[in-house]
A = this chain, B = another copy of it.
Amino acid sequence: MGRWEPDARGRLAKAAMALYAEQGFERTTVAEIAARAGLTERTFFRHFADKREVLFSGMDMMRDLLVRAVADAPASATAMDAAGAALAAASSVIQENPERARLRDAIVSGNAELRERELIKLAAFATAVAGALRDRGVPEPAASLAAETAVAVFKVAFARWVSDPGQRDLLGIFRDLMGELRGVLPDDAPV
């Protein structure tokens, strides 16, 4: 108890993901996760608030990454450039660990509560990107429009990427779809 456990957090996360995949998120207990990791429940709760947090613990880091990418975009970048750069940065990070991303997606997709939580996460990302754009001086509604659209394109890109285990290049899919979006918008037809 209380002694230092080498990479306890990483071991707990790995054990949790394996158990969620094997027997389902609902059926997995914190006691089982701790046992699989060779640690105690108390150690689990030092690292995660609950078993759901294992799946969403990267969210704050990702939000920071998005906000920083918007802030770091060149002064000449349009709102959509900057929002696109943010979601491109997120795509790069996610594709670094495709096995984890696909395992996580399978777990989240299999549980209604987790799917809802995932939608809330994406909405929070759009809100964060819009705020970072406003900090650059982009007015509303252009900031929210660029942020929501970039997140919508990312959502489609991620769904394509995650469903094809042979596909590694999430960033490429995201960029292609940003380009395709341009192509599918009518020039000036009434909507």
- Which A residues fall within an 8 A CB radius of B? 78-81, 84-85, 87-88, 116, 119-120, 123, 126, 140-142, 144-146, 148-149, 151-153, 155-157, 159-160, 174-175, 177-182, 184-191
Contact = CB atoms under 8 A, between A and B. Distances in A.
Interface of A is mostly: helix
A174 B191 contact: yes
A30 to B, nearest CB: 24
Given A179-B188, A182-B187, A185-B185, 6 more contacts: A78-B186, A79-B184, A80-B191, A142-B180, A149-B152, A151-B152
A59 B70 CA distance: 35
Contact of A116 (B84, B119, B185): B119
